[in-house]
């Protein structure tokens, strides 16, 4: 295995003269002991543990062995295509900038050539080399760490988060990539850090880290529900439905406890959520509209225990049938899922019809509740007015003219008459309802 530090000590890597400024304190290294080197591209390879890359290659871990271009160029080629597909415009801007002015921001790599920071710059340089035939170098700090040592993995991750999750950079982090990174970093048999550590090092709030983690958990359960590999995150990413799992996680966490009965109810509700999500994918409801619908579902159905049990009971057989049918197919991509949903169109539409009916009823109920709240607020206003002897705030009768008092009397007579008429209308509705 190559050692960049050994090559540097042997004088085989040229220093740029730049002195790095580490964004955080890392035990074992300091800005005074580090240099920036010009590293031949063939010595380097993408970091399969990086949050922005792990999602894209998770399905191919058994087929792809992380290696530099000298040992196995297909790995770097595969990841480079992922980066191009993710944001080609940003890559082209980086490539244009480097071609015109050189690499302006240095990267960070490990001793064996694994890139910790600088994926886009490295990709741009590879493209420049391929298109021009010129010799180019990746300018980077070489860190004396290895992923083979658990203690050093923590240091690497802390530095990666500091570099890539600053406030100004976080908007570039795809939410699915972020959720998967949080899940993989903080769970499993050998977690690198706790959720609290991740929150601190990424400048995120702890409750937000927990929400992303919960979303990742239900995303994985969803993939299992449809019979896809549990790490086929590209299906969620391409379907643009991540926000639904984020909202789902918040709702389930809020509404269910740890008792056996509550957990059974929670699992039933989870499957109902999956049925609704599959319906939305099938009919093409994505983005803010899909998120609004799933929030309404959580607020008006899941939050109401009786409504939730009725809804679960009404679709449980359909959802189970849909899951069984999907699991009989070979679903690895978004295209596979869409075709399978088309094949099960009747079942999906039945789930959708039930969902739309419950959603509309809930919205109607929500409108009525809002209407009643408005009346209640108005009644309170007049109650407070009466308690204050017909005056508002610091107002005094001496400040009101006789003409204004007569106008107020007129409005009060109108209000009294309208109140009687409305009371009779509601009474008539109750009588008619009882007769039916």
Least confident span in 4-18, 150-164, 222-236, 355-369:
355-369
- pLDDT at 20 > cutoff 80: yes
| Tokens matching residue 347 | 């079942």
**Strand 137-143 versus strand 114-117 pairing type:** unpaired
**Does residue 42 register a pLDDT over 80?**
yes
pTM (whole model) above 0.85? no
Across 274-285, average pLDDT: 93
At residue 62 the predicted structure's pLDDT band, cuts being 50, 70 and 90, is low
pLDDT over 50 at 167, yes or no:
no
What is residue 366's predicted lDDT score, i.e. its pLDDT?
Answer: 65
Report whether pLDDT(170) > 60: no
- Per residue in 337-391, pLDDT tens? 999 999 999 999 999 999 988 877 766 766 667 777 778 888 888 888 888 888 8
CB 46 within 8 A of CB 68: no
Does residue 171 carry a pLDDT above 60? no
Read off the tokens for 64: 């792809």
396-402 own/partner pairs: CB under 8 Å, 24+ apart = none
Average pLDDT over residues 387-413: 87
Average pLDDT over residues 101-114: 93
Taking a C-beta distance cutoff of 8 angstroms, is the pair 281, 337 a contact? yes
What is the pLDDT at residue 227?
95
| Residue that is written with structure tokens 């509404």 in the block | 255
pLDDT mean over 117-126: 94
Tell me, rounded to whole angstroms, the distance of Cα 410 from its chain centroid.
57
- The tens digit of pLDDT for each residue in 220-233 reads 999 999 999 888 99
Per-chain mean pLDDT for the chain: 89
Longest dimension (CA), the chain: 101
pLDDT digits (tens, 9 = 90+) for 65-80: 889 989 889 999 999 9
With a pLDDT cut of 90, the percent of the chain lying above it is 53
Question: Hey, what are 137's tokens?
Answer: 């170098």
For residue range 280-289, list pLDDT tens digits in order: 999 988 888 8
Q: Residue 151: what pLDDT? A: 82
Strands across the sheet containing 137-143: 14-15, 36-40, 137-143, 107-110, 114-117, 45-46
């Amino acid at each position: 295995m190559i050692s960049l530090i050994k090559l540097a000590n042997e004088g085989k890597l040229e220093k740029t003269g730049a002195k790095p400024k580490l964004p955080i304190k890392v035990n074992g290294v300091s800005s005074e002991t580090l240099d920036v080197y010009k590293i031949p591209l063939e010595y380097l390879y993408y970091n399969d543990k990086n949050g922005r890359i792990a999602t894209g290659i998770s399905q191919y871990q058994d087929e792809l062995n992380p290696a530099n271009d000298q040992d196995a160029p297909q790995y770097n080629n595969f990841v480079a295509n992922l980066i191009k597909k993710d944001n080609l415009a940003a890559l082209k801007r980086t490539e244009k900038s480097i071609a015109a002015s050189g690499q302006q921001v240095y990267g960070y790599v490990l001793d064996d050539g694994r890139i910790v920071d600088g994926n886009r710059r490295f990709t741009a340089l590879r493209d420049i080399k391929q298109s021009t035939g010129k010799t180019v170098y990746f300018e980077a700090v070489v860190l004396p760490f290895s992923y083979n040592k658990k203690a050093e993995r923590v240091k690497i991750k802390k530095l990666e988060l500091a570099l890539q999750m600053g406030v100004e950079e976080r908007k570039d982090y795809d939410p699915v990539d972020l959720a998967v990174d949080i899940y993989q970093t903080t769970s499993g048999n050998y977690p690198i850090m706790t959720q609290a550590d991740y929150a601190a090092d990424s400048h995120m709030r702890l409750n937000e880290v927990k929400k992303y983690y919960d979303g990742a958990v239900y995303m994985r359960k969803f993939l299992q529900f449809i019979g896809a590999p549990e790490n086929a995150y590209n299906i969620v990413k391409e379907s643009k439905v991540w926000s639904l799992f984020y909202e789902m996680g918040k709702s389930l966490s809020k509404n269910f406890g740890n008792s056996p009965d509550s957990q059974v109810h929670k699992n039933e509700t989870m499957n109902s959520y999956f049925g609704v999500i599959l319906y939305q994918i099938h009919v093409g409801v994505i983005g803010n509209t899909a998120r609004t619908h799933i929030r309404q579902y959580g607020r008006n159905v899941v939050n109401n225990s009786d409504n939730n049990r009725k809804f679960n009971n009404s679709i449980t057989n359909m959802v189970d049938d849909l899951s069984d049918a999907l699991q009989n197919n070979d679903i690895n991509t978004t295209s596979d899922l869409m075709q399978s949903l088309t094949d099960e169109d009747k079942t999906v539409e039945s789930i959708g019809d039930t969902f739309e009916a419950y959603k509309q009823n809930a919205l109607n109920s929500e409108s009525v509740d809002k209407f009643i709240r408005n009346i209640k607020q108005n009644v309170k206003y007049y109650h407070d007015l009466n308690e204050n002897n017909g005056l508002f705030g610091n107002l005094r009768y001496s400040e009101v003219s006789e003409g204004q008092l007569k106008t107020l009397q007129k409005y009060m007579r109108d209000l009294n008459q309208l109140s009687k008429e409305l009371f009779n209308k509601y009474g008539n509705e109750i009588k008619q309802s009882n007769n039916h």
